């Protein structure tokens, strides 16, 4: 019985307040940008290949950049293909302002997302399956730089 009285007293005391809220409590949240892509993409055979000028395979990866609370600029995207036999191709970097020329704009508005189609060419001296490592460099409107690493399988 004593436990029941103690519990009732605690519950009643916990509900008493001299301050009555008339509006929901607002929390300030701060979110940063995120970068994502599909787990795997298909290798597409090109119609004509002449190594090394035209590679026999290509894959297009949709790199999705979602801004947080502030605008974000994509400053560079680096790709590197490694085939299933662990043969690596050289890294290829699309530095600013090349993303602007290739994708139309490198700006991602706050609280919105943009998909950047990144095409990776491979197959001269490699197999058609493997992994593409992507490094995406971003800079927000406050001057804060972030680096995001992704790995996408090529099947």
- From first to last of its 155 residues, the chain has per-residue pLDDT tens of 555 554 555 455 555 555 555 656 555 556 789 999 999 999 999 988 899 889 999 999 999 999 989 889 889 999 999 999 999 999 999 876 655 555 556 677 887 888 889 999 999 999 999 999 999 999 998 999 999 999 999 99
pTM value is 0.75
Residue 143: its pLDDT value, please? 92
Distance between CA 77 and CA 99 in Å, rounded? 8
**Are the beta carbons of 74 and 91 closer than 8 angstroms?**
no
Residue 123: its pLDDT value, please? 93
Closest by Cα among 65, 53, 144 to 108: 65
CATH entry, 31-154, from 3.30.1490.20, 3.10.440.10, 3.90.170.10, 2.60.40.1470: 2.60.40.1470
Q: Using alpha carbons only, give the angle 100, 133, 93 rounded to the nearest 5 degrees.
A: 35
**Are the beta carbons of 140 and 69 closer than 8 angstroms?**
no
Residue 3: its pLDDT value, please? 55
């Amino acid at each position: 019985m004593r436990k029941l009285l103690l519990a009732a007293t605690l519950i009643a005391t916990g509900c008493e307040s001299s301050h009555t809220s008339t509006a929901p409590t607002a929390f300030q949240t701060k979110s940063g940008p995120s970068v994502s892509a599909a787990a795997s993409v298909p290798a597409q055979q090109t119609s004509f290949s002449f190594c090394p000028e035209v590679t026999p395979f290509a894959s297009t990866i949709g790199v999705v950049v979602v801004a947080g609370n502030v605008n974000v600029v994509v400053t560079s995207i680096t790709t590197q293909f490694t085939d299933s036999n662990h043969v690596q191709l050289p890294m290829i970097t699309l530095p600013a302002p090349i993303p602007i020329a290739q994708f139309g704009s490198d700006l991602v508005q706050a609280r919105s997302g943009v998909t950047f189609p990144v095409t990776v060419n491979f197959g001269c001296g490699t197999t058609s399956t493997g992994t593409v490592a992507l490094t995406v460099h971003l800079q927000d409107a406050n001057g804060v730089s972030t680096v995001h690493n992704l790995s996408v399988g090529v099947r």
